[in-house]
Structure 1
Amino acid sequence: MNKLSAIHMEQEDRLLLYQLFWHYYHGDLIKVTAIDWANLGELLRTITVLSESELGNQAICIFDEVSEESLQTFGFDYNRLFVGPNRLLASPYESTYSNVEGNIMQQETIKVRNFYHYEGLQVAEEGQFPDDHIQYELEFICYLLSQNEKESDLNLFLENHFFKWVNKHCERVEEHSQNRLTLAFAYLLKEFLQLEKIIIEGGEPNVN
């Protein structure tokens, strides 16, 4: 990419990618077949700005050539990274990265909850499950992106919350992943956020 200022992505493609990440962190892709992964790779190649980026292309190539070993160990690696029961190696909670002690259900979680409430929304498990889990934040982003009049609210949420921690989350996945698919999603999300930051802020191609 030689001209960062020329980067453009259709809103439909942005929404598709956020929905894909939501399904991933919701656990919907654990049983996906090799054919389905190849179809996903083919679909992602149509988003030129993503497929022509280094990390985006690496992720798509992994989807194109999923091995049986990767399919068999995907669920195990997904759980050890994001679910448990042992210590999470790549916590999916914003507060883990924003709180000095790395604890969940802290002030940072309440700030995310308040943002949802401002938009007239709340998570179904409010008070029982942390509101700042990445699947909830992604679902909230999808809602805002689908509402044309919510662009300023979307940008505010991305800049004050999502952009501030998800890159660190992806780096932990890269560090601890033992499966090509979990690694591919870290590459894909990391690259997508770099593009999002450029598109929204007109800034440098790094997500802090």
Structure 2
Amino acid sequence: MDNIKQWFAERKAIYYILSLFYAGKVNEGLELLKKSNLLHNFKSYDHNKKLSQGACEIINGFNKNEEVDYKKVILEEHQKLFVGPNELLAPLWESVYKTKDKLLFGDIELEVRSYYNSLGLDVKPSEAADYLPLQLAFMSRLCSISQEYNLERLNVDELEKIRGNLSIQKEFLNKHLLSWIPLWAEDVNKNAEEQFWKGFAELTEGWLENDLIEIERLYKL
């Protein structure tokens, strides 16, 4: 059971790190990246080119910018791509990519919000629930809940709880994150000037695809 415990813990941390970066908390995200050795681990993922190539892009970006304040560069481009004040080049909301009028707070946002509410998680009415950092944080929370189950002895009840949790994760990835992230990643790749965000978007897409495969494998337990 140690492998399952570690799997949930690692996934919880990865989703949390991803959410930090897209929320603009670059300093905290970079510190966790260094401690986790995540980029070097992903670099060797030969079975998932998006993960490995994305990690290589990020590492190369750091290596080429050792003499500048790269944190500042990353934050400035985060502002330009995802925040504004000018036209957003790669908006961080699912509704933008899946609705004709690209308006927030519609049916998609309500559906995402209902996932959060089902676990007792609240999002301010003024904040769109389909915001990428919130979606990633939700996946991290689901992993955290799985860790709370008694993984030392998987009786029928515990096994059903894990299956139910994984079912929600699988559904959320399919219906939401993976339904728009590929389109969004194209916008990042097209508009980003720095290797960091190009690589980070590619890594994010690769991670989500890889995680879905892993969930489907474990879901058969």
Q: Answer whether TM exceeds 0.5 for this pair.
A: yes
Q: CA deviation at 1:30?
A: 5.2
5+ residue gaps in structure 1?
A: 1-8, 203-208
- TM-score by length of structure 2 reads 0.75
- Pick from 201, 213, 217: which aligns with 1:186? 201
Could you tell me which residue of structure 2 aligns to residue 140 of structure 1? 138
How do 1:188-207 and structure 2 match up within 5 A? 188-201=203-216
Q: CA deviation at 1:73?
A: 2.4
- Whichever residue aligns with residue 55 of structure 2, its letter is I
Could you tell me which residue of structure 1 aligns to residue 167 of structure 2? 152
- Whichever residue aligns with residue 154 of structure 1, its letter is Q
Distance 2:16 2:113 in 1: 20
CA RMSD of aligned residues (A): 2.7
Could you tell me which residue of structure 1 aligns to residue 20 of structure 2? 23
Asked which structure has the greater CA Rg, the reply is 2
Higher relative contact order (CA 8 A, sep 6+): 2
Q: Is 1:88 matched with 2:88?
A: yes
Distance 1:79 1:162 in 2: 22
- TM-score by length of structure 1 reads 0.79
Q: Percent identity?
A: 24
- Whichever residue aligns with residue 17 of structure 1, its letter is I
Task: Spell out, residue by residue over 1:58-112, the C-alpha distance to the aligned partner (whole angstroms, 9 max, x if none).
Answer: 3333443411275442222111111111111111001111212111121111111
Q: CA deviation at 1:37?
A: 9.0
Give the paired residue count.
190
Q: CA deviation at 1:145?
A: 1.6
Distance 2:34 2:192 in 1: 23
Q: Which has the higher helix share?
A: 2
Please tell me whether the aligned partners of residues 174 and 183 of structure 1 are also in contact (alpha carbons under 8 angstroms).
Answer: yes
